[in-house]
Amino acid sequence: MAVKVLIPTPLRPHAGGKAAAEFPAKSVAEALSHLTAEFADLKRHLFTEDGKLRSFVNVYVNGEDIRYLAQENTPTKDGDTINIIPSIAGGSGLSQATEVRY
């Protein structure tokens, strides 16, 4: 038994084409650490340069958003499922002066 990590489609090419991977882990941080140790290319897409989860990377443990749990310290146990779900953002990003106007 282990913790199952579901990998979203855009990251699968960096994870040997896998849709899921399993690791023994007592927390989300530990599971993600195993994941990025096995698939090093995932790291820059999941984490910022200072090691924080990127804002558009959403992590759920058994369907619960870790932002409402204990973030990356959220405990995990055998049989749990960690789901990484993208959110998508962007935009023309016109000047800040324009933004201030609104």
Applying CB under 8 A, the residues found at the interface with another protein are 8-14, 41, 44-45, 55-56, 58, 60, 85-94, 98-99, 102
Q: How far is the CB of 44 from another protein (least distance, A)?
A: 6
Closest CB 92 distance from another protein, rounded Å: 4
Provide the 10 A C-beta neighbour count for residue 23.
18
Return d(Cα 91, Cα 73) in angstroms, integer.
32
How far out from the chain centre does Cα 12 lie? Answer: 13
Whether 45 contacts 54, CB under 8 Å = yes
Which one, 1 or 68, has the nearer CB to another protein? 68
Closer to another protein by CB, 1 or 88: give it: 88
User: Which is nearest to 32 in space by CA: 62, 49, 8, 53?
Assistant: 53
CB of 78 to another protein, least distance (A): 25
| Nearest to another protein of 2, 6 (CB atom) | 6
Q: Closest approach of Cβ 59 to another protein, in Å? A: 10
Q: Are 19 and 97 in contact (CB under 8 A)?
A: no
Residue type, 89: A
Nearer to another protein, 38 or 41 (CB): 41
